[in-house]
Amino acid sequence: MKPGNFISMISAGISALISVGCSINDEPEGSQVMDYQEYEVVVASKKVPGVVTSCGNKFLTDVYAVRYAGEDEWKMLPSISGFEYESGYEYTLQISRTDYLDYSMGEPAWTEYALIEEISKETKISENLPNNFIPEWYFKQYCADVDDFAYKVEAEQPESVINDIGNNPEFSFNDGKLCMAGLSQWLLLDSNNNVESWGRLKRVSMSADEMPEIYRIFPPDDVGIRGYGRLEFMELGEDDNSLMQFDIFFAPSARSKADQPISHSFRLWLYKDLTEEYKEKYPDAGVEAVVIRYCVENTYLTE
């Protein structure tokens, strides 16, 4: 359970949204240049996760860390049109910033950054980079913690299994925190709330009959389960690698003033069957069933 750069096609799509604004009718007429400036910037040798706003939506994606000439602080830049970036190199660029206004667009004011000149490209590990550009409000408003860890052990001699689970730091994410940004992305934070890794979530729907029978020994706390499936925590990058996966139960969470469930709002339980793993690890313990569970509490997850 050791999670390992968001899928390039997603990042490219987000960059496209940022650079062209949010057109209602795809008509460029009427765009006005409100401001134009040129800057010299240093672009760091690696990207870091950050939150970008486009068309009223918040996107978690990899962004450039840039340092403007004469400044020491690294700042976030979502995209630079015409710039071909390679990680592992620190760049010095001349770029332009153009502010546009067009009331025929869904988002009438927007900014584009574009490459004017690549001044230098140096093999270098950039120093003093921030771990991320994710604001605190994003975690509070858009992320749900995967917590409330619990387990059930059925064995003739359960003590060794119980001790193993209780002392295994992987189950507590090495004293860090696993978060879900809706049902689309995940982040693993360390004990200092630095982003260790992040990626996308892949959900596979399942029927009740497809859920492992063993979970009956440790059912979800709530009634009214409305959905079942499997949730895969996918590694960033082009390879479609699943770093870990859980079977999941959904139940309605938020309710309207009429005390009716709000559509697409859920509580979520994540299950894993570790029976065979512990049978092999403790062959003399008489292991019959080992099930672990997490719950996403107090924060609404929406599809």
Question: Are 115 and 187 part of one and the same domain?
Answer: no
In three state form, how does the secondary structure of 69-111 look? CCCCCCEEECCCECCCCCCCEEEEEEEEEEEEECCCECCCEEE
Question: What's the pLDDT tens digit per position in 100-146?
Answer: 998 877 778 889 999 999 999 999 999 999 999 999 999 988 898 99
Q: Of 51, 47, 83, which Cα lies nearest the Cα of 66?
A: 47
Question: Are 202 and 88 part of one and the same domain?
Answer: no
Question: Are 270 and 295 part of one and the same domain?
Answer: yes
| Pairing between β-strand 32-43 and β-strand 227-234 as defined by DSSP bridges | unpaired
User: In the prediction, which pLDDT does 265 show?
Assistant: 61
Residue 281 lies in a domain: yes
Rounded Cα distance, 182 and 217, in Å: 28
Residue 211 lies in a domain: yes
Question: Are 289 and 164 part of one and the same domain?
Answer: yes
Q: Of 253, 286, 285, 288, which Cα lies nearest the Cα of 274?
A: 288
pLDDT exceeds 70 at position 211: yes
User: In the prediction, which pLDDT does 258 show?
Assistant: 47
For residues 148-163, give the mean pLDDT: 97
- Split at pLDDT 50, 70, 90, the class of 160 is very high
Rounded Cα distance, 224 and 269, in Å: 13
Number of domains observed in the structure of the chain: 2
Residue 84, Cα to own-chain centre: how many angstroms? 25
- Torsional sign, CA 120, 123, 129, 132: positive
Rounded Cα distance, 108 and 105, in Å: 5
Q: What is the pTM of this model?
A: 0.78
For residues 63-72, give the mean pLDDT: 96
In sequence order, the 6+-apart residues with CB closer than 8 A to the CB of 27 are 104
- Split at pLDDT 50, 70, 90, the class of 262 is very low
Residue 246 lies in a domain: yes
pLDDT exceeds 50 at position 1: no
Q: Of 193, 151, 213, 169, which Cα lies nearest the Cα of 1?
A: 169
In three state form, how does the secondary structure of 128-142 look? CCCCCECCHHHHHHH
Which of 97, 123, 149 is at the close of a domain? 123
Question: Are 206 and 287 part of one and the same domain?
Answer: yes
pLDDT exceeds 50 at position 293: yes
Rounded Cα distance, 127 and 283, in Å: 50
Residue 129 lies in a domain: no
Average pLDDT, the chain: 85
Rounded Cα distance, 90 and 125, in Å: 7
Domain with 233 in it: 136-302
Residue 3 lies in a domain: no
Helix (H) or strand (E) holding 17: helix 8-20
Let me know: does 59 contact 14? Beta carbons within 8 Å.
yes
